[in-house]
Amino acid sequence: MNKKIKHLKERQAELKKQICDNLDLLMGTINRSPAMMNYGLTTKVGGKTVSRYVRKGWVPKVKKMTDRHKRLRAMIKELSDINWELLKLESD
């Protein structure tokens, strides 16, 4: 097996594991309402912006979960790029 293919397959396996380990996530952005001093999680649902109330005690966990979503998107992008490279190399 080509060294490059081997390296890409190893990275592919790592990313798959990391993706599975990071599925405890929330989509959206946590923000604080200046007028009400409350926190909210804002996201798009069916093309519309929806805000959900976030209790003050939940803020650290919600922040961690939204950050996990951002990292997961980057991992999926990298996995897609690797899959494309493997497709090209294996079809030659």
Helix extents (H) in 1-92: 3-21, 59-91
Question: In this structure, are residues 69 and 26 in contact, taking their beta carbons and an 8 Å threshold?
Answer: yes
The per-residue pLDDT for range 12-61, each reduced to its tens digit, is 999 999 999 999 999 999 998 778 789 999 999 999 999 999 999 999 99
C-alpha closest to that of 73 among 41, 28, 13, 10: 28
Question: In this structure, are residues 90 and 1 in contact, taking their beta carbons and an 8 Å threshold?
Answer: no
Question: In this structure, are residues 70 and 27 in contact, taking their beta carbons and an 8 Å threshold?
Answer: no
Residue 30: count other Cβ atoms within 10 Å of its Cβ.
Answer: 19
What pLDDT is stored for residue 34 in this prediction? 78
